[in-house]
Amino acid sequence: MIRYKRWWDKLGITLSLVCLVHCLALPLVIALLPLFAAQWLQANGFHMAMAIALLPVALLAVLPGLRMHGRRSVAAAMAAGLSLLSTAAFAGEMLLTQEWVVALTVAGGTILVAAHAVNLALCRACPACATHAHVAVHEAERP
């Protein structure tokens, strides 16, 4: 059984915020730096790496929370955020305009931050999370 760890949500929030800051700051960075120096920021590889990094973090944060709190809306929000980010990262500019890539990335990152924050708040409010009593409850329920 996977135990809920608050730091998965905190890591998910941090990674999602890094993604958001990257996406929002990119136009400013490009304007301030010579184009060749900022080329690595525009590379689609960064978006792909972030999408891949966010997937296991989101799963490790939301699955134990879903088992304990049963809030499917948090899992749905995680899935929506990851879907938007993945679409922006992997479809990218081959199928989408730069504006759509930015919009999907910002929307997906914002949804992920919100879902992690809600999951973290639910765990903070749950006495079982603080004591890990949920593990004993779930193990006692097994046949």
pLDDT in tens, 48-68: 888 888 888 888 888 887 887
Distance between CA atoms of 138 and 124, rounded to whole angstroms?
19
Tell me the CA distances in angstroms from 72 to 46, 80, 130, one per residue in order. 30, 12, 21
Q: Where are the domains of the chain?
A: 6-141
Residue 31's φ and ψ, nearest 5 degrees, are: -70, -30
Q: Which residues contact 27 (CB under 8 A, 6 or more apart)?
A: none
Per-residue confidence (pLDDT) for residue 141, from 0 to 100: 44
pLDDT average, residue stretch 81-104: 86
**Angle ∠(23,117,52) on CA atoms, nearest 5:** 50
